[in-house]
Structure 1
Amino acid sequence: MNFITCPRCGKECYRLFGSVCKDCFFETFKLIELPHVLHVRICSACGAYFHRSRWEDIGNIEDVVLKAVEDTLFIHNEAGDVEVYLEPREITPYIYRVRAEVDAVVREEPVHAEAETEVRIQRTACDMCSRESGGYFEAIIQIRAAGRFPTEEEKKRCMVIARESMDSMRKKGDRLAFISEIVEQKEGVDLYMGSMNASRQVCRLITSELGGNFSESPTLVGMKDGKNLYRVTFSVRLPEFRPGDVIRFRGKIIHIKSSGKKVNGTSLEDGSRFISTPEELKGAEKIGNMGNAVLTVLVSIEDNAILVLDPETYETVAIKKPMSFNAESGSEIPVLKTPYGIFALSHSEIPQAK
Structure 2
Amino acid sequence: MQDDRRSSPCNYTLIILSEIMDLHDAICPKCGGPSKDGSLCGKCLTGEIPWYVCEPRVFITRCGGCGSIKTSAGWGDSSREREDLEEDAAISAIKFHQDVKKPSISVKLDHLSINRTYADLELSGTLYDENLEGYCSLEIVWQNESCDRCNRQHGNYYEGVVQIRADGRKATTEEQEESQRIAVQVETEMQNDGERLSFITRFDEGREGLDIVVGSQAIGEQISREITKRLGGRFSLHPTLVGEKNGQKLYRITYAVRLPKLQRGDVIAVRNTYGEILHQENKTFTYLDLKTGIPRTIPESTPSRFVANVRDAAVFSVIYQDSGIIGILDPESGKTEEISRVSWRHPEVGDSVRILRDSERTIVV
- Aligned pair in 2 of structure 1 residues 308, 100: CA closer, same or farther (>3 Å)? closer
- Aligned pair in 2 of structure 1 residues 327, 117: CA closer, same or farther (>3 Å)? closer
**Alpha-carbon shift at residue 287 of structure 1 (Å):** 1.0
Unaligned runs of 5+ in 2: 1-21, 330-335
* Equivalent of residue 246 in structure 1, options 250, 267, 271: 267
**Alpha-carbon shift at residue 250 of structure 1 (Å):** 4.4
CA contact (8 A) 2:232 2:259 kept: yes
- For the pair shown, the structure with the greater C-alpha radius of gyration is 2
Task: Report how many aligned residue pairs link the two structures.
Answer: 336
The separation in 2 between residues aligned to 1:119 and 1:333, in whole angstroms, is 68
* Equivalent of residue 22 in structure 1, options 42, 57, 64: 42
Aligned positions of 1:148-297 closer than 5 A: 148-256=169-277, 258-259=278-279, 261=281, 264-269=286-291, 271-276=292-297, 280=300, 284-290=304-310, 291-293=312-314, 295=316
Q: Residue 31 of structure 1 aligns with which residue?
A: 51
CA contact (8 A) 1:41 1:50 kept: yes
Structure number with higher helix proportion: 2
Q: Residue 70 of structure 2 aligns with which residue?
A: 50
Q: Residue 127 of structure 1 aligns with which residue?
A: 148
**Alpha-carbon shift at residue 138 of structure 1 (Å):** 0.7
Unaligned runs of 5+ in 1: 310-315, 350-354
TM-score, normalised to structure 1, is: 0.79
CA contact (8 A) 1:296 1:335 kept: no
- The amino acid across from 1:103 in the alignment is S
Aligned positions of 1:2-17 closer than 5 A: 4-9=26-31, 11-13=32-34, 15=36
Q: Residue 94 of structure 2 aligns with which residue?
A: 73
The separation in 2 between residues aligned to 1:296 and 1:28, in whole angstroms, is 95
Note the alpha carbon deviations across 1:250-292, whole angstroms, 9 max, x for none: 4442123x336585433234x1512327x73686431123332
Which region of structure 1 is more displaced relative to structure 2, 175-184 or 130-139?
Answer: 175-184
- Aligned pair in 2 of structure 1 residues 240, 60: CA closer, same or farther (>3 Å)? farther
The separation in 1 between residues aligned to 2:197 and 2:225, in whole angstroms, is 18
Which region of structure 1 is more displaced relative to structure 2, 47-56 or 67-76?
Answer: 67-76
The separation in 2 between residues aligned to 1:41 and 1:282, in whole angstroms, is 62
Structure 1 segments (4+ residues) deviating >6 Å = 296-303, 305-309, 316-320, 325-329
Partner SS state of residue 12, structure 1: coil
Q: Residue 352 of structure 1 aligns with which residue?
A: none
Note the alpha carbon deviations across 1:126-171, whole angstroms, 9 max, x for none: 1111110011011111122233333333322322222232222223
**Alpha-carbon shift at residue 99 of structure 1 (Å):** 2.7
Whether 1:342 aligns to 2:364 is no
Percent pairwise identity: 28
Q: CA RMSD in A?
A: 3.8
The separation in 2 between residues aligned to 1:334 and 1:183, in whole angstroms, is 35
Note the alpha carbon deviations across 1:59-82, whole angstroms, 9 max, x for none: 344444334334443122222333
- The amino acid across from 1:48 in the alignment is S
The separation in 1 between residues aligned to 2:71 and 2:59, in whole angstroms, is 11
Q: Residue 96 of structure 1 aligns with which residue?
A: 117
